[in-house]
Copies of this chain bind each other. A is one copy, B any other.
Amino acid sequence: MAVYTEVTDEALAGFLADYDIGRMVAFRGIAEGVENSNYSLRTTAGDFILTLYEKRVDPADLPWFLGLMEHLATRGIVCPRPVAARDGAALRQLCDRHAAITTFLPGVWPRRVRVEHCAPVGAALAALHLAGRDYAPVRRNALGPEGWPPLLARCGAGAEAVRPGLGAELEAALASILAAWPTGGEAGLPVGHIHADLFPDNVFFLEGRLSGLIDFYFAATDLLAYDIAVCLNAWCFEADGGLNVTKARALLAGYQGVRALTAAERGALPVLCQGAALRFLLTRLYDWLNTPPGALVTRKDPIEYLRRLRFHLSARDEHAYGL
Chain A positions within 8 Å of B, measured between CB atoms, are: 1-3, 6-10, 12, 23-32, 40, 42, 104-112, 204-207, 291-296, 298-299
**Does A30 contact B29, Cβ atoms closer than 8 Å?**
yes
**Does A29 contact B32, Cβ atoms closer than 8 Å?**
yes
**A298: which B residues are within 8 A, CB to CB?**
294, 296
**A207: which B residues are within 8 A, CB to CB?**
23-24
**A10: which B residues are within 8 A, CB to CB?**
112
**Does B28 contact A32, Cβ atoms closer than 8 Å?**
yes
A5 to chain B, nearest CB (A): 10
**A293: which B residues are within 8 A, CB to CB?**
292-294
A226 to chain B, nearest CB (A): 28
- Given the known A-B contacts A2-B1, A293-B293, A294-B295, are A40 and B23 also in contact in the complex, defined by CB atoms under 8 Å? no
Please tell me which one of the listed residues B7, B29, B110 contacts residue A9 in the complex, with CB atoms under 8 A apart: B110
Q: Which 8 A-B pairs have the closest CB atoms?
A: A29-B31, A293-B293, A8-B111, A27-B108, A3-B31, A8-B112, A31-B31, A25-B106
**A292: which B residues are within 8 A, CB to CB?**
293
A12 to chain B, nearest CB (A): 7
**Does A206 contact B25, Cβ atoms closer than 8 Å?**
yes
**A26: which B residues are within 8 A, CB to CB?**
104-108, 204
Residue picked from A8, A27, A108, A292, most chain B C-beta under 10 Å: A108
**Does A31 contact B2, Cβ atoms closer than 8 Å?**
yes
CA–CA, A69 and B9, complex, Å: 26
